[in-house]
Amino acid sequence: MTPTTADQPQMSVEEFEELERRAPETVRLEFINGKVTVKPMADGDHREIIAWLQRVCVRHRPDLWLHAKSGLKTERYRKGRARADGVLVPVGGLKGQGEWSEADAALMAVEVTSYDVDTHQRDRIEKPDGYAAAGIPVHLLIDRDDCSVVVFNQPEDGRYRHAEKVPFGATVEIPGPVHITLDTEPLKEFVD
């Protein structure tokens, strides 16, 4: 059996989009590295982290908005479909976009780890690579298992060339084009 990869996908992007359109509202699908995956539903702490980050972003950068649960065209040639936990764009940056937005307006993609068996592969490996390949300048990973924040930037050749990891409680600079100083102390209250 041939393994599923971006070069040998389970189905075409068009077939995936049709499948996703027909899926029940309670099922959120992604198409990452040529395979269909089910994105876990967010728990309360996960949703609170995104709400907290929305408030931080609007306080520091009122010209930007962090959209929660946004569909993005990712990976090489925009052949992937990822549901980012958050996508930071200029206000109005998603106007006219469909369910799966082009990544061009995205300044930052945000992922918050889930407590499931696929989170390592999906959130720590595949999604950062997909966001880098799409040219998204910054990727913020809030890792609840590790109680850390990782800021990826400088996308090049499908990978981020730079990553800075700090523990919850530290302050980290989110570089341009975002330019936000993030105090991660409040994240401590959202982990078990």
**C-alpha distances in Å from residue 131, one per residue of 15, 83, 89, 101:** 22, 11, 14, 13
Question: Do 163 and 138 contact (CB within 8 A), yes or no?
Answer: no
Which residues span the domain enclosing 104? Answer: 43-190
Q: Is residue 173 part of a domain?
A: yes
Q: Is residue 35 part of a domain?
A: no
pLDDT at site 5: 59
pTM for the whole thing?
0.91
Q: Is residue 119 part of a domain?
A: yes
pLDDT at site 39: 83
Q: How big is the chain, counted in residues? A: 192
In a 3-state reduction of DSSP, which class is residue 3? coil
Residue 166: how many other CB atoms lie within 10 Å: 15
Q: Is residue 6 part of a domain?
A: no
Question: Do 75 and 136 contact (CB within 8 A), yes or no?
Answer: no
In a 3-state reduction of DSSP, which class is residue 55? helix
Q: Is residue 91 part of a domain?
A: yes
Question: Do 57 and 180 contact (CB within 8 A), yes or no?
Answer: yes
pLDDT at site 30: 86
Per-residue pLDDT reduced to its tens digit, 1-16:
445 555 677 899 999 9
Q: Is residue 20 part of a domain?
A: no
Q: Is residue 148 part of a domain?
A: yes
Q: Is residue 16 part of a domain?
A: no
What is the distance between the terminal CA atoms of the chain, rounded to a whole angstrom? 40
**C-alpha distances in Å from residue 6, one per residue of 68, 94, 139:** 26, 26, 21
pLDDT at site 1: 47
Per-residue pLDDT reduced to its tens digit, 93-137:
999 998 899 999 999 999 999 887 777 788 898 999 999 999 999
pLDDT at site 41: 81
Q: What is the CATH number of the domain that holds 186?
A: 3.90.1570.10
Our count of domains for the chain comes to 1
pLDDT at site 42: 84
Q: Which carries the bigger pLDDT value, residue 159 or residue 116?
A: 159
Per-residue pLDDT reduced to its tens digit, 15-70:
999 999 999 888 888 898 899 988 878 889 999 999 999 999 999 999 999 999 99
